[in-house]
């Protein structure tokens, strides 16, 4: 019985182990601005069904600044913003003496400031078994720009008018191509619910409608997977976001030009923070003194920016950083007054800035509500799932092990396999010894039988066929 159970466990372990011959499959999806608690506030049955088939992480501890392009580049490189250099949606680089917005940041110089920045789609394609690996990305920030000389195998630029169901359809086509051309890693981006959050606020009937659409996209995603046996068995999926969203109003706006002299400095930023570059270092203290008097705004000289922001060591970060307290907005010179009802970009420790995270597929544990980890940890997580060598990043695989099957008791550990194997061998040996002893006992039993004694009938012929067993010892003795 025990041998049978052990063998069954061994067989099931061997069957569930991924084959070493083909690369793992992973699809990364980002819903821009999907706050961590939307699935608890709104009715989102498909999102809420994900926990049964995988993992929901309570939230992601995202990096500062909590804005779109920086956060998306952090997710796919595992690097803080000060490390990879995409420090805002509007960047000024004093070395390049140039600036860029999300619409113009399509030159490799913006994404390749750090030679170490390597998106996961490139890491996947540079792996040892690269002939079997291809990456595809649609609309992910930076995916259509060569980064340190590399592009994904397939990519399509962001298209505002493109519905997300067509994006999903295309990425599944890429996963389903013939072996020689199909991708094993895909990344897609959807601009909602961020756009609705900005326009109508995080708690609104319009947000309810938009989230219902996002939920329908998840339903379509699940159906597309479940209808395809190859993907159903092999595809890992991560659904996450770059940041959350917080309600704001017009009365909490700072017009920066009222506090700075535009001839002495320039300011670049969104409605929640601004990097201020001062022409002469000797003017920094005076400007700082002016700005630091403003209530409800945090103002830092570059050297004083909190270490926990990991937002200091880069030439693209200004001499002075100004950040609104949660809900307070900034209008930089030349920008229009904000009509937004929702915003992000604030302190990354604020609860409303945190995004969602779900993971499901063969690599993930199931039925698990897991503790948070950082967005820099998503890269090492994806590296592990894709069986890539772990690069040195600002993230850590140790922070995400709790959501992976390989590090849980759901999967039989190699030590247990060895233990079971030894148990089977030992039990087989014990069984053999016992059987042998049992067999020898029969031999001994036979040999203990008193030899039957025969006597020859008293016949004249002396025939040897004429033998009968003696009736008793007495009878024998009497003979
Ligand atoms: Zn965003």
Give the single-character DSSP code of 276: E
Q: What is the CATH number of the domain that holds 300?
A: 3.30.1360.180
**Per-residue CA distances from 95 to 92, 108, 113, 224, 318 (Å):** 9, 15, 11, 47, 13
Whether residues 120 and 217 share a domain: the answer is yes
Same domain membership, residue 130 and residue 181: yes
pLDDT tens digits, residue range 142-177? 999 999 999 999 999 999 999 999 999 999 999 999
181 is a catalytic site residue: no
The least confident of 41-55, 92-106, 419-433, 462-476 is 462-476
Q: Are residues 239 and 283 in the same domain?
A: no
pLDDT digits (tens, 9 = 90+) for 220-278: 999 999 999 999 999 999 999 999 999 998 899 999 999 999 999 999 998 999 999 99
Region 342-364: mean pLDDT is 97
What integer pLDDT is reported at residue 363 of this predicted model?
Answer: 98
Overall number of domains in the chain: 2
Global pTM reads 0.83
Domain assignment present for 152: yes
Dist CA 305 CA 318 (whole Å): 11
Helix axes 205-226, 164-175, angle to 10 degrees: 20
What pLDDT is attached to residue 477?
39
The pLDDT of residue 472: 43
Helices (H) and strands (E) in the chain, counts: 15, 22
What's the domain range around 182? 19-79+116-247+349-411
Does one domain contain both 262 and 243? no
Residue 370 predicted with pLDDT over 50:
yes
CA of 68 to the centre of ligand 1 (A): 4
The answer as to whether 100 is a domain residue is no
- Residue 371 domain flag: yes
Residue at 440 is within a domain: no
Tell how far the Cα of 341 is from the centroid of ligand 1, in angstroms: 15
Q: Please indicate, yes or no, if residue 1 is contained in any of the structural domains.
A: no
- CB of 121 within 8 A of CB of 187? yes
- The pLDDT of residue 282 is 96
> Among 287, 312, 343, which residue terminates a domain?
343
Quote the ligand 1 centre to 199 CA distance (angstroms).
Answer: 13
The C-alpha atoms of residue 222 and residue 55 are separated, in whole angstroms, by 15
CA distance 116 to 166: 33
Of 343, 374, 394, the domain-final residue: 343
User: What pLDDT is stored for residue 447 in this prediction?
Assistant: 39
Residue 329 has pLDDT above 70, yes or no: yes
**Residue 233 shares a structural domain with residue 382:** yes
Residues 283 and 201 in one domain: no
State the average pLDDT over residues 202-228. Answer: 98
Residues 42 and 168 in one domain: yes
> What separation in angstroms does the CA of 375 have from each of 63, 74, 77, 183, 381?
7, 7, 10, 24, 10
CA nearest neighbour of 221 among 195, 243, 239: 239
- Quick one: 230 and 180 in the same domain? yes
Question: What pLDDT score does 445 carry?
Answer: 39
Q: Are residues 55 and 131 in the same domain?
A: yes
Report d(CA 64, CA 71) in Å as an integer: 8
Structural domain contains residue 184: yes
pLDDT tens track for 442-477: 444 343 444 444 443 444 444 344 334 444 444 443
What is the 243 CA–ligand 1 centroid distance (Å)?
Answer: 6
The pLDDT value recorded for residue 423 is: 75
Task: Identify the CA nearest to 348 among candidates 47, 82, 55.
Answer: 82
Residue range 120-133, pLDDT digits in tens: 999 999 999 988 99
Whether 68 and 179 share a structural domain:
yes
CATH number of the domain to which 243 belongs: 3.40.720.10
- Ligand 1 centre to CA of 16 (Å) is 37
Residue 216 class from Cβ within 10 Å (0-12 exposed, 13-18 middle, 19+ buried)? Answer: middle
The answer to whether residues 218 and 273 belong to one domain is: no
- Interval 74-101: pLDDT, tens: 999 999 999 999 999 999 999 999 999 9
- 425: confidence class by pLDDT, cuts 50, 70, 90: confident
| Domain-embedded: residue 368 | yes
Last residue of a domain, one of 318, 343, 368: 343
Whether 442 maps to a domain, the answer reads no
**How far is 56 from 364, CA to CA, in rounded Å?**
10
Catalytic residue among 66, 68, 74, 196: 68
Q: Percent of the chain, pLDDT > 70?
A: 84
Q: What percent of the chain has pLDDT over 90?
A: 77
| Residues 223 and 243 grouped into a single domain | yes
């Amino acid at each position: 019985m025990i041998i049978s159970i052990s063998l069954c466990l061994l067989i099931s372990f061997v069957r569930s182990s991924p084959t070493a011959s083909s690369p793992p499959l992973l699809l990364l999806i980002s819903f821009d601005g999907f706050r961590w608690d939307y699935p608890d506030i709104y009715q989102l049955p498909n999102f809420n069904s994900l926990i049964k088939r995988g993992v929901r992480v309570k939230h992601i501890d995202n990096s500062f600044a909590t804005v779109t392009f920086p956060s998306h580049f952090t997710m796919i490189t595992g690097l803080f913003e000060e490390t990879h250099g995409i420090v805002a949606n509007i960047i000024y680089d004093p070395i390049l003496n140039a600036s860029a917005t999300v619409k113009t940041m399509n030159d490799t110089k913006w994404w390749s400031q750090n030679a170490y920045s390597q998106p996961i789609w490139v890491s996947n394609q540079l792996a040892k078994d690269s002939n079997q690996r291809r990456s595809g990305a649609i609309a992910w920030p930076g995916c259509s720009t060569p980064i340190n000389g590399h592009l994904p195998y397939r990519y399509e630029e962001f298209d505002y008018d493109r519905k997300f169901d067509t994006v999903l359809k295309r990425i599944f086509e890429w996963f389903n191509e013939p072996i020689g051309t199909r991708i094993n890693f895909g990344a897609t981006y959807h601009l909602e619910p961020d756009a609705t959050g900005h326009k109508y606020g995080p708690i609104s009937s319009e947000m309810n409608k938009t989230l219902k659409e996002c939920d329908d996209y998840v339903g379509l995603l699940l159906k597309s997977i479940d209808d395809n046996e190859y993907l159903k068995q092999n595809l890992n999926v991560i659904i996450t976001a770059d940041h959350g969203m917080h309600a704001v109003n017009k009365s909490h706006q700072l017009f920066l030009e009222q506090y700075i002299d535009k001839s002495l400095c320039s300011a670049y930023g969104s409605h929640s923070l601004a990097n201020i570059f001062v022409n002469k270092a000797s003017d920094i203290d005076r400007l700082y003194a002016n700005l630091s008097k403003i209530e409800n705004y945090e103002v830092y000289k570059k050297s004083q920016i909190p270490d926990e922001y990991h937002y200091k060591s880069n030439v693209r970060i200004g001499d002075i950083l100004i950040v609104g307290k949660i809900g307070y907005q900034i209008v930089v010179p030349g920008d229009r007054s904000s009509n937004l009802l929702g915003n992000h970009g604030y302190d990354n420790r604020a609860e409303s800035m945190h995004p969602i995270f779900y993971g499901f597929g063969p690599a993930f544990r199931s039925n698990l509500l897991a503790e948070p980890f950082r967005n820099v940890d998503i890269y090492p997580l994806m590296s592990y799932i894709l069986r890539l060598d772990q690069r040195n990043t600002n993230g850590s695989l140790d922070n995400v092990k709790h959501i992976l099957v390989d590090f849980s008791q759901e999967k039989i550990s190699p030590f247990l396999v060895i233990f079971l194997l030894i148990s089977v061998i030992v039990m087989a040996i014990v069984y053999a010894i016992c059987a042998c002893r049992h067999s020898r006992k029969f031999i001994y039993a036979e040999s203990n039988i008193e030899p039957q004694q025969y006597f020859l009938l008293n016949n004249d012929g002396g025939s040897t066929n004429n033998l009968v067993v003696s009736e008793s010892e007495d009878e024998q003795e009497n003979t």
